[in-house]
């Protein structure tokens, strides 16, 4: 009884030693220092000879349904928050070939001629 328990302890100790040794060894195997890093091809030049530029195509301004306190120097009044959504592209400046890279948006609480501003004193 006593002997088998001692063997069990020995086995446990050995397992712990092997676990401690095995972790850094396997980590080194999965992360070789000289593994090439994958880099997305940047493709700044188009095959037609043109070059890709960032372009944003904007939609129309629309009222979001929200307002916020005027930020144009008036003491009172809430401005209407307008918004327009844009789609961003990389597009060749020569042949027009390209691809979508993301979306973006802008907000405005003033408008071209102050139409969205409802501030007053």
Among 15, 43, 119, 121, interactor with Zn ion by CB under 5 A: 119
Which one of 11-19, 21-29, 30-38, 50-58 is the stretch in contact with Zn ion (CB under 5 A)? 50-58
| Residue (86 or 98) nearer to Zn ion, CB | 98
| Residue (16 or 57) nearer to Zn ion, CB | 57
Return the closest-CA partner of residue 92 out of 40, 53, 38: 53
- The nearest distance, CB 74 to Zn ion, in angstroms, is 6
- The nearest distance, CB 47 to Zn ion, in angstroms, is 7
Q: How many CB atoms neighbour CB 117 within 10 A?
A: 20
Binding track over 3-42 against Zn ion, x by CB under 5 A: ----------------------------------------
Return the closest-CA partner of residue 83 out of 114, 60, 112, 113: 60
Residues 42, 3: Cα–Cα separation, whole Å: 67
Residues 82, 108: Cα–Cα separation, whole Å: 5
Using DSSP's 3-state secondary structure scheme, residue 16 falls into helix
Tell me which residues touch Zn ion (CB under 5 A): 46, 48, 50, 70, 72, 79, 92, 94-95, 97, 117, 119
């Amino acid at each position: 009884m006593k002997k088998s328990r001692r063997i069990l302890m020995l086995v446990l100790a050995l397992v712990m030693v092997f676990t401690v040794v095995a972790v850094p060894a396997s980590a080194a195997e999965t992360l070789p220092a000289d593994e090439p890093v994958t880099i997305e091809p940047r493709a700044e030049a188009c095959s037609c000879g043109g070059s890709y530029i960032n372009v944003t195509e904007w939609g129309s301004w629309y009222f979001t349904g929200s307002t916020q306190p005027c930020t144009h120097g008036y003491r009172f009044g809430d401005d209407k928050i307008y918004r327009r959504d844009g789609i961003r592209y990389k597009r060749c400046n020569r042949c027009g070939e390209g691809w979508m890279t993301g979306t973006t948006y802008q907000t405005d609480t003033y408008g071209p001629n102050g139409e969205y501003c409802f501030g007053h004193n």
